[in-house]
Structure 1
Amino acid sequence: MNQIIKLSFSFLFLIISNLPVFAQGGRIPVSAENGMVVSSHHLASDVGKDILKKGGSAVDASVATAFALAVTLPSAGNIGGGGFLVYYGKDGENTTFNFREKAPLAATKRMYLGEDGKVRENSNHDGILSVGVPGTVAGLFTAHKKYGKLDWKELVQPAIDLADNGFEVSEPLAGFSQWLDRNKSEFPSTAKVFLKPDGTPYEPGDLLIQKDLAETLKRIRDKGVAGFYQGKTADLIASFMKKENGLITKKDLKKYKAQELPPVKGNYRGYDIYGMAPPSSGGVALIEMLNILEGFDLRSTGHNSARSLHYLTEAMRRAYSDRAQFLGDPDFNPKMPLEQLLSKSHAEQLRKTIEHNRASVSDSANFNQAHMAYESTETTHLSVIDNDGNAVSLTYTLEQSYGSKIVVDGAGFLLNNEMGDFNAIPGCTNSKGRIGTKPNQIAPEKRMLSSMSPTIVTRDGEPYIIIGTPGGRTIINTVLQVIVNMIDFGLNIAEAIESPRMHHQWLPDTSYMESWGFSPDTREILEEMGHEIRTRRSQGRAMGIFIDPANGRIYGAADSRSFDGKASGY
């Protein structure tokens, strides 16, 4: 397929899928007394709520919701991708589960480069070589094994029912089907699933039935993690990979294991922040930015004023520079200076370099040395709290919208294109945003760096905010702004999520602002300070829960930037 057509589709689909619909979303949160699930699809949220009502734990509801999203939200919900889960119990017990994808055993550092040293035809993002070894099923199974209350089969069955019986096609999904109709010769296995049996595209409101996916889910239901990484499903993946000249083998699948890791922890104005450690960069960068911002009186500057946005931008710039220089898979980077990056003293040194009225300059050669001793937007997030007060924040992804857009023939699920999150050109870091630093270069069985930022904020030892979002490298900054909106500016969970957002990632040296949310005067002041401003329609689709410490009541909000998100409580 012509590369320009590919890029045009990705751009067009990103816009369509991010258009706000203001259905359930808005500035008034949904309230509940017992438990709540917030996700990017109403059917999946209701599946999770039903699990809670049956006495399931927060992890049970997360597992059921995630499997349901793999059916109803194929652009991001998945069993062919990976992600992260942060858990915080009512008793204060906290942990995380890392089920990020891995590079196949046959992967090499320069596998995508041509003789000219440049990436060949975007091959790290497009095609079968872009696929990493999936981690979702292993991660959900591992979390359930430790914190599940209900039987595993009961959690997978609702997704099977949705795949077997079908659900109504949304407008974004119909848009993908129409695109696929024009490109079905390049994606024949995908066309079998997302075009009608007569070969025509689905229309909004049509019923989509996914029999192959239902059978794959049944194997997962009956055999647990072995139902995906071994047996028939593994055979289907491996044979498809061999046929298409991919790298993943049955050995890759059998060797894959999810990891339980301690969270990274910080404190912001008396609130404890629990996030994901590397290979997610989210927790470290979020805490580093909050540490920097803690030294400014944001409340007095005014919500989304030019001054407050200036401070946010400068904190983002410095944290993303550290992210690029230091962070990667800890199994391959044992000397990452996490303690320093998370420290208040490091933040203080960085804060001293921020001028109150002038933007800094991002330098691709120097990182933060003067101050120190392209990830896709298509991800999905769900937040859960159960009747006992246990909380889960879970973010998982296929990378781009619909991942590689390649379905495993006979298995019915889409594969990720996560290999694009590695630094494909070793040593090349430039002003356009290309990062080539060593910690995130490709190696066999290495997990690629991620910006996913499932986060739980606690107050006096109890869950207070459960938050996360999709959005590629914007994820960390979206989560940051929701937290700051609530703690510094007193917004409720829905107002904090609906507020306009901005993003800076060090390189390129540009601030991106949602076009509809900031006044021309604010933008002009920022430009006078030296910030380069560009606009975009939308940033992220946050899914959040707030637990009122005064009465224990639960408030949830699904971002109206999400086409079909829902907060479902009881």
Structure 2
Amino acid sequence: MINHRHFLAFFTLCSLWLGTTVLSSTGPVSTLGASATVGPDTIQPVRAPNGMVVSASTRASQVGSDVLAAGGNAVDAAIATGLALAVTHPSAGNIGGGGFMVIRFPDGTSTAVDFREKAPLASHPEMWLDDSGEYSRTTHHNSYLAVGVPGTVAGFWKAHQLYGDQDWERLVKPAVTLARDGFEITERLAGGLERLIEGRGSSFPGTIQSFSKDGYPYSSGEMLVQTDLGRTLERIAADGRDGFYAGETARLLVAEMERGGGIITLEDLARYQARERTPIHGTYNGYDIISMAPPSSGGIAI
């Protein structure tokens, strides 16, 4: 949102589907810590003169800040942050999902990239019904049939091809390092992983292998190393979009779909395309609002 009363025309804004926001200008970037807490219920806003990266993970935000400091633009920083979130924020920031990116340029114009997941070609309404012909919530929400064709990597790749400045591999490498070398688990992440492996994730061997110690939950302060994810990110770094939608990664994904009764095929992956769209514009209480158009519901809700 741009306030008419305090409009900074030199800013470029890039916002990702999972709450990552990047502001950048042409000046050097200041690296800021967390917001200053004045009292138990009072948090002062953080301000920076030249650039800011905000996400659900401090480590991922630092990756984006480093990209800005190295001369990358807001799109570069958003891509690097989003890929780092695939490692440090597995509950939402992942390369197996999808989302949206809204971009505002220094001249005030804007655009958006839609990389929402899509239904596989073999999808049909009756696949959500049980043997008695009734709707099955379990099938709809917790089965391999519920998995859409992922869009994240295609969306990041398209945004980079259209508006990125820095080398693609440079943007992916920090996420590779975080996955391969590991990072210290926060108390919040430890709790989330414990709930995952004791809940709906307990029936998926890959989840147990990736996010537990032989079936036992991690504790805060321990290191989480994700070797397989690191290998996948290395292929994405080397081959771009094809590092996910073709080759070894695609074959592994389709093999897992077949094992679990899913319907995503190599053709589904090959045909997936991210789309550039026109954002929704509106005003509220003296503010200009730029938000995502359908298929996102957020812009319409605002």
Fold match, TM over 0.5?
Answer: yes
Paired position in structure 2 for 1:186: 203
Point out which structure has higher relative CO (alpha carbons under 8 A, 6+ apart).
1
Distance 1:283 1:186 in 2: 36
Query: Alignment partner for residue 124 of structure 1, among 140, 157, 165?
Result: 140
**Contact 1:180–1:195, Cα closer than 8 Å, also in 2:** no
- Write the distance in 2 (CA, Å) between the matches of 1:118 and 1:24: 53
Q: How far is 1:267 from its partner? A: 2.5
| Superposed counterparts of 1:66-465, under 5 Å | 66-114=82-130, 116-179=132-195, 182=198, 186-196=203-213, 198-286=214-302
Greater CA drift, 185-194 or 27-36: 185-194
Give the paired residue count.
264
- Report the Cα offset of residue 269 of structure 1: 4.2
Decide whether aligned partners of structure 1 residues 97 and 127 sit closer, same or farther in structure 2, where only a CA change above 3 A counts. same
> Structure 1 CA distance, aligned partners of 2:198 and 2:62?
34
Q: Deviations over 1:348-368 (max 9, x none)?
A: xxxxxxxxxxxxxxxxxxxxx
1:117-154 CA-partner distances (Å, limit 9, x unpaired): 53225211112111111000001111111111110111
Summarize deviations over 1:24-68 as a string: whole Å, max 9, x none: 675311121110001111001111101000010000000000000
Higher helix share: 2
Distance 1:204 1:269 in 2: 43
Misfit runs of 4+, over 6 Å: none
1:29-44 to 2 correspondence within 5 Å? 29-44=45-60
Contact 2:35–2:45 (Cα < 8 Å) also in 1: no
SS in 2 for 1:36: strand
Q: Distance in 1 between matches of 2:156 and 2:202?
A: 34
Amino acid at match of 1:261: R
Task: Tell me how far apart the structure 1 counterparts of residues 231 and 142 of structure 2 sit (CA, whole Å).
Answer: 27
CA contact (8 A) 1:60 1:149 kept: yes
Aligned sequence identity (%): 52
Q: Which moved more, 1:249-258 or 1:265-274?
A: 265-274
Q: Secondary structure at the match of 1:86?
A: strand
SS at match of 2:138: coil
Larger Rg: 1
Residue 271 and residue 174 in structure 1: after superposition, are their counterparts in 2 closer, same or farther (change >3 A)? closer
Look up the match of 2:26. Answer: none
Q: 1:50: which partner in 2?
A: 66
Residue 178 (structure 1) shift: 3.0
Q: 1:24 to 1:80 in 2, by over 3 A?
A: farther
Consecutive unaligned residues of structure 2, counting only runs of 5 or more, are 1-33
Deviation at 1:180, TM superposition (A): 5.1
2: CA distance between counterparts of 1:270 and 1:176? 39
Report the equivalent of 1:521: none
